[in-house]
Amino acid sequence: MGALGVNLSCAFMSARVRAHSGSLTHAAFLSARNDAVANVVIIAAGFATAYTLSGWPDLIVGLGIAAMNADAAREVWSAAREEHRTAESERISS
């Protein structure tokens, strides 16, 4: 619960500036947001695992978290590539 509180506060703080700065600020927001979501689903998976006595909830949550983080990495990569293209075109034109 402590990690969830910290991740939520970081996500809310970085949400205000995620579009104003570059890819690193966006990456910080996505990381905090994804961590907060992961905290919630991990807690839920713990209850589901205790109720069902099965490892499937953990496996499903793990795959979901991996997919969510892969999508965030793709977003940050795209934003960084765009920043790089913009910087290159400004460098060439000046």
The pLDDT value recorded for residue 92 is: 87
Q: Are 36 and 4 in contact (CB under 8 A)?
A: yes
The pLDDT value recorded for residue 30 is: 92
The pLDDT value recorded for residue 22 is: 80
The pLDDT value recorded for residue 54 is: 96
- Type and span of the H or E element at 86: helix 56-93
Residue 36: count other Cβ atoms within 10 Å of its Cβ.
Answer: 19
The pLDDT value recorded for residue 45 is: 96
pTM (predicted TM-score) = 0.81
Q: Over the chain (94 residues), what is each successive 10-residue block's mean pLDDT?
A: 90 83 86 95 96 96 97 93 90 82
The pLDDT value recorded for residue 25 is: 87
Contacting residues for 15 by C-beta, under 8 A, at least 6 apart = 29, 33
